Chains A and B, each alone.
Chain A
Amino acid sequence: MKHIKTVNKPSLQRTVHTGGCGECQASCQSACKTSCTVGNQVCEK
């Protein structure tokens, strides 16, 4: 495309049906103890 560069292959819609395994880390535990930012995480599947 000339006017738009999509920089990722988004997975949000797909994971409505496939997620929920719960193997990922609790968000706040990883580095910060005051702000939870799930967006920073990676799926562990």
Chain B
Amino acid sequence: MKVKIHKFQQNGMYILLDINSGAVHVVDQMIYDMMDVFDGTNDEAVTEKFDGRYPREELREALGELHKLIEQQELFAPDIDVPPTFKSEGLVKSMCLMIAHDCNLRCKYCFADTGDFGGGRALMSAEVGKAAIDYIIDHSGNRKHCEVDFFGGEPLMNMPVVKEVTAYVRKREKETGKIFKLTLTTNGMLLTDENIKFLNDNAISLVLSLDGRKDVHDRMRPDMGGHGTYDRVLKNFKKMVDSRGGKNYYLRGTYTAYNPDFTKDVLSMADEGFNILSIEPVVAKDMPYGFTEKDLPHIFDEYDRLTEAYLSRHKEGKGFFFFHFNMDLSNGPCVAKRLSGCGAGHEYYAVAANGDLYPCHQFVGRDKYKLGNVFAGVQNKELPQYFRESHVLNKEKCRDCWARFFCSGGCHANADLFHGDIRQPYELGCEIQKKRLECAIMVQASLALEKEPDIIR
């Protein structure tokens, strides 16, 4: 039987999540304990079990409240199967352009092998970039919004093509009525005044890579000569973010086994004046800076500390957005979206510098995942279908997991990296993901209670 509820304690709060409705209930300790036994049909057993530990009258009252939730379909809500709204084929709505298979940094944890994806350094031509834009327009059906991310390597190393493709996007928008959201991920080394102006003038959202504290950043993100880059990129990021009024960016870091106290890195970013932040665990196999199962208890404790720091900064009026804690519990994605997940391989493709298509940026260079190219289209027709059907309800380990409608089944590329099978999730990633979700739900519950302390519906 599929698990229907998940209960957990986070930063002193007792939380009961009803998995199939998405209802989040903050409960007292008595209800929390009762949920070990209560299944909706066994009031007597519950009363008998807790008689003596809690007053009978209180237990009766609590059971009444639980039954009310069941009536409202906010407790033990029915299982969700693949809905009719989940179409059998996806529309391609997003593309990641590997503008440069080259980089001016030598980050030690780089999944792209210092930018060349294991296949030699190369720059994308404008011809390939424009063909990618045409591809997305031709394959996005009636969908109005499309997304293109300029990625690398370091995309600013191929700025002429970024400019030409951006101009082409704007022209094609007028011709087709499509709206493109453009993003660019950069290490910040080449954020010159001219580039900053271009990025602002063209409303390109940014993902800026910074790992937190200076010593942490410099250790993992040196330049080609082995020198730290923190001072240089921090200066550029501040200029960049100030020039756009503190909007349309994410400052994103990676934490490794070298900085297990990564809360300090998040706070360091906030103290430098940035307030839209993200930090994520490194994904690495058999590396000294990678994580193993034995690191999990410490990582979990650290997320508790991050949660506490996040809420305390919020209370002090010095709050910041943290990507993994942002969650709209009432207006989150529909079930179809939750099954589509990240869309890799069926709604989202990566385009290598030579025009080859892959399921996502992380698959670039993994030959068996090559789908085709931007000129001839997808030749491997089975693969997009396989990715589309590799959703949480088709993965053995995800089907019964409480987090199935939040996490979308984890990263396919990581599953392939560790198991050679996109349907076998990367367990360490799952464990960290689940902890982050518990923190996020607690944060959102806490913020909701702050607004309406007596929420009773």
How distant is A27 from chain B, measured CB to nearest CB, in Å?
Answer: 5
- Residues on A with C-beta less than 8 A from B18 are 10
Residue of A nearest to B454 (CB): A5
How many chain A residues touch B (Cβ–Cβ < 8 Å)? 43
- Residues on A with C-beta less than 8 A from B30 are 3
Interface residues of A (CB under 8 A from B): 1-13, 15-44
Residue of B nearest to A22 (CB): B143
Contact of B280 among A12, A19, A35 (CB under 8 A): A35
Q: Are the CB atoms of B74 and A26 closer together than 8 Å?
A: no
Contact of A4 among B25, B94, B185, B252 (CB under 8 A): B25
Q: Interface stretch among B120-128, B211-219, B285-293, B334-342?
A: B334-342
Q: Are the CB atoms of B147 and A26 closer together than 8 Å?
A: yes
Given contacts A7-B444, A8-B329, A39-B407, contact A31 B334 (CB under 8 A): no
Q: Are the CB atoms of A7 and B94 closer together than 8 Å?
A: no
Q: Are the CB atoms of B69 and A6 closer together than 8 Å?
A: yes
| Among B61, B335, B456, residue most surrounded by chain A Cβ atoms (within 10 Å) | B335
Contact of B93 among A5, A16, A26, A41 (CB under 8 A): A26
Given contacts A17-B85, A38-B338, contact A10 B329 (CB under 8 A): yes
Interface residues of B (CB under 8 A from A): 16, 18, 20-28, 30-31, 58, 61-62, 65-66, 68-69, 73-74, 77-78, 80, 83-87, 90-91, 93-94, 96, 111, 143-145, 147, 149, 151, 181, 183, 185, 207, 250, 252, 254, 278, 280, 283, 323-324, 326-338, 340-344, 347-348, 360-362, 405-408, 410-411, 414, 429, 433, 436-437, 440, 444-445, 448-449, 454-457
How distant is A37 from chain B, measured CB to nearest CB, in Å?
Answer: 6
Contact of B65 among A1, A23, A27 (CB under 8 A): A1
Given contacts A3-B65, A32-B280, A39-B406, contact A8 B23 (CB under 8 A): yes
| Among B21, B78, B207, B333, residue most surrounded by chain A Cβ atoms (within 10 Å) | B333
Given contacts A19-B85, A31-B323, contact A6 B74 (CB under 8 A): yes
Given contacts A7-B455, A12-B20, contact A2 B65 (CB under 8 A): yes
**In the complex, what distance in Å separates the CA atom of A39 from the CA atom of B151?**
24
- Residues on A with C-beta less than 8 A from B405 are 12, 39
A-B contact pairs, 28 of them (CB 8 A): A3-B62, A5-B455, A6-B23, A7-B444, A7-B449, A9-B457, A10-B23, A12-B21, A12-B22, A15-B336, A17-B83, A17-B84, A19-B83, A19-B85, A19-B333, A24-B333, A29-B94, A29-B96, A32-B280, A33-B362, A34-B283, A35-B429, A35-B433, A36-B341, A41-B337, A43-B332, A43-B333, A43-B334
- Residues on B with C-beta less than 8 A from A39 are 327, 332-333, 338, 405-408, 437, 440
